[in-house]
Amino acid sequence: GENVEQHPSTLSVQEGDSAVIKCTYSDSASNYFPWYKQELGKRPQLIIDIRSNVGEKKDQRIAVTLNKTAKHFSLHITETQPEDSAVYFCAASSNTGNQFYFGTGTSLTVIP
Amino acid sequence: ETGVTQTPRHLVMGMTNKKSLKCEQHLGHNAMYWYKQSAKKPLELMFVYSLEERVENNSVPSRFSPECPNSSHLFLHLHTLQPEDSALYLCASSQGTEETQYFGPGTRLLVL
């Protein structure tokens, strides 16, 4: 089955700086890679996703890059703000499986 | 939000009790999931239902019993739980098991 690894487990940045979270996956059949944000006491919510037919996708301050050859994908947050503080989860899935495989999460703290 | 709802939001139960968690999705999805989220641990997939049939059961103890009577409803029946089962139980749904999952707010369970 798929194995998704996520790094770092914790990340602290100064407000205004950039944050990068990286995930690797093992199953070359994986073709869909969403990122979820979970604020304290709230449900995980999709913030951005990418499919394997593109290498990069951007939505305002958030971007995701995908390297299919190396089997890794990354979340980039620019101009971080205190409200970006949360736990971020990556995930991978394929149309040949029956589930998502989630990373272990990254706790991001943006220091004002 | 009305996409995916869960009841109750909080539950305290003794080890000899029997209780049920309920999840309802109003998104027209055909797949539903139960996850367990413990403090400082990644999301643990428990069960996957696709088209009302269970397709995954990730070695979950028999004291957890899922039920999916139709594509909009998912239950998790609990009996003789242990204190280590205390966690946040999240329900999710998606249109196809490889597509974006939308989470409910969760039920925070405490087993005494």
Summarize pLDDT for B87-100 with one digit per residue, the tens.
999 999 999 887 88
Residue A25's pLDDT band (boundaries 50, 70, 90)? very high
User: Quick one: average pLDDT of B45-66?
Assistant: 87
Radius of gyration of chain B (CA): 13
Query: What is the rounded distance in angstroms from the CA atom of residue A106 to the CA atom of residue A20?
Result: 10
Rounded to the nearest 10°, the torsion over CA A52, A55, A59, A63 is 110
Query: What is the rounded distance in angstroms from the CA atom of residue A87 to the CA atom of residue A9?
Result: 9
Query: What is the rounded distance in angstroms from the CA atom of residue B78 to the CA atom of residue B90?
Result: 14
Q: What token pair was written down for A17?
A: 């700086």
φ, ψ at B31 (rounded to 5°): -135, 140
User: Quick one: average pLDDT of A42-67?
Assistant: 94
| Residue to test with chain A: of B2, B43, B53, most A Cβ within 10 A | B43
Examine the pLDDT at A52 and tell me if it is beyond 80.
yes
Residue A98's pLDDT band (boundaries 50, 70, 90)? low
Q: What token pair was written down for A12?
A: 């602290």
| Residue to test with chain A: of B48, B100, B108, most A Cβ within 10 A | B100
Q: Residue B101: its chain A contacts at CB < 8 A?
A: 34, 46, 100
